[in-house]
Amino acid sequence: MLEAAAAAPPEVARNFRITSLIVAAALLMEQIDVTVLATALPTMARDFGVSAVNMSVAMTSYLLSLAIFIPASGKIADRFGARNVFGAAIVLFTVGSVLCGLSQSLPFLVMARLIQGLGGAMMVPVGRLVILRTVSKAELVNAMAWVLVPGLIGPVIGPPLGGFIVTYFSWPWIFYLNVPLGIAALALALRFIPEIREPGTVRFDFPGLVLSGVALSCLIFGCEFGSRGAGSLTLTLVLFGFGIVTGALYILYARRAAEPILDLSLMRIPTFNLAVIGGSLWRIAGGSLPFLMPLMMQLGFGKSAAASGAITFMSSAGSMAMKASAPRVLRRFGFRNTMIWNALIATLLLASCAAFRPGWPEWAIYGVLLVTGFFQSLQFTAYNTIAFADISAARSSAAMSFYSTFQQLMLSMGICVAATVLNASSAILGHAQATLTDFSIALIVVTSVSIWAAPLSTRFHPAAGEEMSGYKTRR
């Protein structure tokens, strides 16, 4: 990666903050869309004539599209150039947003979300790839902070904005917001994003894309059908079975392919391996929280969409506050120590959200969500950075595609797990719709999975990521 930064044009290396902010603008658009949608789900469910919990498919379909097409993002950027692909992705995401706003049924919305996901799959990963190839390891933590801090404005303003729009206007406007944002992001990208591409001939792995795409889609839709109780048990089991078989076929294929779409050999790199596995466990809870909290506030507490958004944005505000502190924390304690103890603290804080009840003073709920978001964000930043500590410049594209695919897959799994527990708990306890007890059970279940990220982090070498963090172990 140091070699990539050295090889980059001097003006690119000097202006990495400008590039980072443009990538952050794309992330801002994506995050506003996700968080605004979560707040609007109950209202949209009434318009479409389905239950609010079943609206989880509107979120998982987007994440599914990301998981399928992100593996191709690196190769496409190498072939056609980062700026061209980044700009085309913004256009596609914006068009998908307009189609979402025009939706009159849940199936049409799912189709539009898949188109949005195709744009998102090329948008943020390609932008991060530019940063990986133009920034030295010593500056990478700061560069990622520049990307993530502005991008987290979306989750901060998304819930209250979504609640305001749904309460006082109509839900299609939550998607139409992306049109001016998309136009601005496209103009900036064409002006400032460098045209970086891999020299030589780039081979595109179509068989690998088909096998990995079928495997991921079957597994995620199997989880989705199972979580909503949609379709028969036989259909769910068939999807799972076909997904597992296709995934096994991809593994056999990838071992022989010269340039596989998902390079499994990257998992032989210890820091990358642990970051992928630990980050996957952690994202089970991270993916479920934006889905559970707005529903809990509206269905469990009986609050309006606007009131719900005014509360749930606090976890995102805490996340944004942490991004400015992450470089100093990692420099003081190092990656390994930070990820062990922070995972324990953040998991306990998230589990405490299960105790939320209407009798709680609002300032207490605000405080718990603020601090939870603060520590959750530190864990995400640590994983997203340490994963590339030992990745060479030549493999940065493959590593970014692989890591981003599993990142989105596990966020989708988090939503599916949460929806499954909600439906199962409601059915067992005889509730017509999810109650506070059901939400509490769901939060405990997802945190019981994510807690395992803490012991796994003990396997990192004490000196892992020293060049990135500036932390020095005692010799």
Q: Please tell me whether residues 281 and 384 are part of one structural domain.
A: yes
In a domain, 435, yes or no: yes
Q: Please tell me whether residues 244 and 176 are part of one structural domain.
A: no
Q: Which of the pair, 37 or 156, is modelled with greater confidence?
A: 37
Instruction: Give the span between the Cα atoms of 467 and 381, in whole angstroms.
Output: 16
In a domain, 475, yes or no: no
pLDDT-derived band at 457 (thresholds 50, 70, 90) equals very high
Sequence-distant (6+) residues with CB within 8 A of 437 are 425, 429, 431
pLDDT-derived band at 5 (thresholds 50, 70, 90) equals very low
Q: Please tell me whether residues 231 and 277 are part of one structural domain.
A: no
In a domain, 447, yes or no: yes
Q: Amino acid identity, residue 204?
A: F
| Average pLDDT across the chain, whole number | 80
Candidate ranges 42-56, 146-160, 360-374; pick with highest mean pLDDT: 360-374
pLDDT in tens, 203-239: 778 888 888 888 888 887 777 676 665 556 677 788 8
Q: Which of the pair, 466 or 130, is modelled with greater confidence?
A: 466
Sequence-distant (6+) residues with CB within 8 A of 91 are 119, 182, 186
Q: Which of the pair, 307 or 299, is modelled with greater confidence?
A: 299
Closest of 339, 317, 319 to residue 469, by C-alpha: 339
Q: Please tell me whether residues 86 and 179 are part of one structural domain.
A: yes
**Full residue range of the structural domain in which residue 71 is found:** 2-205+259-469
In a domain, 78, yes or no: yes
pLDDT-derived band at 8 (thresholds 50, 70, 90) equals very low
Query: How many structural domains are present in the chain?
Result: 2
Structure tokens at 92: 């596609």
Among 52-56, 65-69, 269-273, which stretch is predicted with the lowest mean pLDDT?
A: 52-56
Structure tokens at 286: 């991270």
- Any idea what the CATH number is for the domain that residue 427 is in? 1.20.1250.20
Q: Please tell me whether residues 330 and 231 are part of one structural domain.
A: no
In a domain, 325, yes or no: yes
Q: Which of the pair, 66 or 335, is modelled with greater confidence?
A: 335
DSSP alpha helix (H) spans, 264-395:
270-295, 305-312, 314-352, 362-386
Q: Which of 194, 227, 258 lies at the terminal end of a domain, its last residue?
A: 258
Q: Please tell me whether residues 168 and 32 are part of one structural domain.
A: yes
Structure tokens at 310: 């005014």
Q: Please tell me whether residues 221 and 267 are part of one structural domain.
A: no
Q: Please tell me whether residues 263 and 382 are part of one structural domain.
A: yes
Q: At what angle do helices 436-450 and 270-295 cross, to 10 degrees?
A: 170
Q: Please tell me whether residues 217 and 80 are part of one structural domain.
A: no
Q: Please tell me whether residues 449 and 301 are part of one structural domain.
A: yes
Q: Please tell me whether residues 319 and 340 are part of one structural domain.
A: yes
Instruction: Give the span between the Cα atoms of 154 and 267, in whole angstroms.
Output: 32
Q: Please tell me whether residues 116 and 238 are part of one structural domain.
A: no
Q: Which of 217, 237, 258 lies at the terminal end of a domain, its last residue?
A: 258
Structure tokens at 245: 């078989």
Closest of 385, 337, 68 to residue 221, by C-alpha: 68
